[in-house]
Amino acid sequence: MLVPKHKQTKRIFQCVGVGVGAYLIVLLVIPLLGPGWHLLHGDFISYGGWRIPVPKGFYAGKSEMGPTMWKHTLGTPLFNVPYGHISLFSRPHPFACDRDYSRFEKGVTQSAGQSGYQLESKRTISVGKNSGYCLEFTRLSGEPRSLVRCVVENSVVVLFYEGDPRYISDFFAALQGMSLESTKSGSLYQYDGGR
């Protein structure tokens, strides 16, 4: 049985309408993941013995290597729009500046240089009662435009940022807001042993 031409046209328009609607929903929902995550989980995660703030507008998730935090803006993932991505990893042994810093700086700088990044700054930041050592890189073309790599003295936690330069201040605020966990932090969103 043949379907009349006007009904075929109507179905095509309905399918296109559903596709456009789904597309718009994706564009609008993704930027709301950050505020939604904060509503459900609070403002901190627990990882490697640290209480780590999740910056406003970011949401946290899990990867094989450790927790990640993302900030998406309107247009993600379909357009090239600003984003921020923070990854946390564990080192095999606690970082000691006098023993490990030169190897850290050389390795990170070499790896970043291979991707077209130039070292922009070196920073030492207060992280709880410890110091954090950070290297910041930028490049003129390609995404992400900014990288920051940080290690924390006497800690196994390593923090990486990549994304738009406008969210680097959120990354550094999270780094400075880190604190060693107390034994009573069971209500935090935890990544190193379950919830």
Q: Does the residue 171 lie in any domain?
A: yes
- Would you state the pLDDT for residue 73? 77
pLDDT value, residue 169 = 95
pLDDT the model gives residue 15: 73
Please tell me the predicted confidence (pLDDT) of residue 65: 85
**Residue at 10 is within a domain:** no
Residue 4 lies in a domain: no
Q: What is the pLDDT of residue 10?
A: 74
> What average pLDDT does the structure give for the chain?
84
The length of the chain in residues reads: 195
Which pLDDT score is estimated for 173? 95
Determine, yes or no, domain membership for 3.
no
Is 195 contained in some domain?
A: no
Res 195: pLDDT: 34
Domain with 64 in it: what CATH number? 2.60.120.1690
Whether residue 18 lies inside any domain: the answer is no
The reported pLDDT for the residue numbered 77 is: 59
Mean pLDDT by 10 residues, the chain (195 residues): 68 70 61 82 92 94 90 69 90 94 96 94 94 95 91 95 95 95 57 44
Number of domains within the chain: 1
Q: What is the pLDDT of residue 185?
A: 45
Sheet strand arrangement including 179-180: 179-180, 50-53, 44-47, 189-190
**Nearest CA among 139, 167, 161 for reference residue 149:** 161
Residue 59 lies in a domain: yes
pTM tops 0.95, yes or no: no
Domain membership flag for residue 29: yes
Query: Residue 70: what pLDDT?
Result: 92
Q: What domain range includes position 179?
A: 25-190
User: CB neighbours (10 Å) of residue 111?
Assistant: 13
